[in-house]
Amino acid sequence: MDLQIALLLGQDGITNGAIYALLSLALVLVFTVTRVIFIPQGEFVAFGALTLASLQTGVLPGTLWLLIGLGAVAGLIDTVFALRDRQLQRIPRILGINLALPLALAGLLANIPLSSLGLPIQVLLTLAVVVPLGPLIYRLVFQPIAEASVLVLLIVAVSVHVTLTGLGLFFFGAEGSRTPSFTDASFEIGDAMIQGQTLLVVAASLTLIVALYLFFERTLWGKALRATAMNRTGARLMGISATMAGKLSFSVAALIGAFSGILISPITTIYYDSGFLIGLKGFVGAIVGGLGSYPLAAAGAVMVGLLESYSSFWASAFKEVIVFTLIIPVLVWRSLTTRHTEEEE
């Protein structure tokens, strides 16, 4: 292995690591706020990438129908609750958000020439379709069992993952898609060629991480999320709605997932079931951070990316084995160094 190969592999590892880092942040966020180990995180990556690919071929994405369907069910349930509580004034808002907005989006998508739009607009439309799925899934699946144990939440998360993967196959078919590259530029630094797309992924990931930091440090909503993560009961006593915090964290997770999918789809082919493995590697990163620390999770995820890249060079058949075996020493080390405190549930 000479220096050039090492540099190329490093570049590749950092690109993938940046995506894993984003996902690990989303996993940490969702876990600390709602105690859900969010297995379906990866599905948002696949949905984001494949929705963008559908839009670019001018086809209405299947995720749009999922959005309308989930919105209708959520709207119906909330309306029934509002009627029961005799809070009729809430109904227009409920129906507006859950029914009218998705239908308006569908109407918009059906009436504009999708494939000839500029890339930024296609990306925005993709986000508009995929991101609302996050809070809707929280509303329908996790909100009713918000007080359940971590194990129950994990099992439900697995079933959501399986359901979404099946829907992904139904919507997008078995074969993958790849979107055209955002930029064809490449730079030569010394011996190594650096692809513009790589820089874009790393820059976008860093921007998103900084934006998340500012969101948590500077905004009221971000502070509310942090408060909920630190102490759910205390936060509720201070008037922070656990439901709002849950929906918000799922929205952020869906945004990160879909955005990662959009970033990665020009680099590789994405399939309806690609998300799981990508999410799992983000999860390994999050585990390195003990599912609690953002910087450690991000560092762990980048490490996973690099490890993956170099092991694919040395022992390609054992790449996944190497990456997932890594989790064992990390867990041993963590269990030896961290004082175990039973969190009251």
Partner 1 sequence: MKGRFIVAGIAACLCASLATADINVGVTVSATGPAASLGIPEKNTIALLPPTIAGQKVNYIVLDDASDTTTAVKNARKLIAENKVDLLIGSTTTPNSLAMIDVAAESETPMISMAAAARIVEPMDEKRAWVFKVAQNDAQMVLAIIENMTNANVRSVAFMGFADAYGEGWWNEFARIAEARKIRIIGNERYQRNDTSVTGQVLKLLAAKPDAILIGAAGTPAALPQKTLRERGFKGLIYQSSGVANSDFLRVCGKDCEAALLPAGPVLVAAQLPDSAPNKKIALDYVGRYEAAYGKGSVSTFGAHAWDAGLLLAATAPQALKKAAPGTREFRKALRDALEGVKNLTVSHGVINMSAQDHLGFDQRARVMVRVENAGWKLAR
In the bound complex, what is the minimum distance in angstroms from residue 166's beta carbon to partner 1? Answer: 5
| Distance (Å, whole) CA 183 – CA 127 | 20
The DSSP 8-state label assigned to residue 187 in this structure reads E
Provide the residue type at 105 as one letter.
L
Provide the residue type at 198 as one letter.
T
In the bound complex, what is the minimum distance in angstroms from residue 19's beta carbon to partner 1? Answer: 8
Compare residues 170 and 333 and give the one whose CB is closer to partner 1: 170
In the bound complex, what is the minimum distance in angstroms from residue 268's beta carbon to partner 1? Answer: 4
In the bound complex, what is the minimum distance in angstroms from residue 98's beta carbon to partner 1? Answer: 26
Compare residues 24 and 274 and give the one whose CB is closer to partner 1: 274
| Distance (Å, whole) CA 72 – CA 102 | 9
Compare residues 87 and 186 and give the one whose CB is closer to partner 1: 186
167: nearest Cα among 256, 270, 44, 252: 44
In the bound complex, what is the minimum distance in angstroms from residue 212's beta carbon to partner 1? Answer: 23
In the bound complex, what is the minimum distance in angstroms from residue 82's beta carbon to partner 1? Answer: 33
Compare residues 81 and 314 and give the one whose CB is closer to partner 1: 314
φ and ψ of 132, to 5 deg: -60, -15
Q: Which residues bind partner 1 (CB under 8 A)?
A: 5, 8-9, 12, 15-16, 19, 166, 169-170, 173-178, 264, 267-269, 271, 273-274, 277-278, 308-314, 316-317, 319-320
| Distance (Å, whole) CA 145 – CA 164 | 19
In the bound complex, what is the minimum distance in angstroms from residue 4's beta carbon to partner 1? Answer: 9
Compare residues 264 and 296 and give the one whose CB is closer to partner 1: 264
Three-state DSSP at 85 gives coil
Compare residues 128 and 270 and give the one whose CB is closer to partner 1: 270
Compare residues 4 and 219 and give the one whose CB is closer to partner 1: 4
258 in Cβ contact with 126 (< 8 Å): yes
Sign of the torsion angle spanned by Cα atoms 197, 253, 300, 178: negative
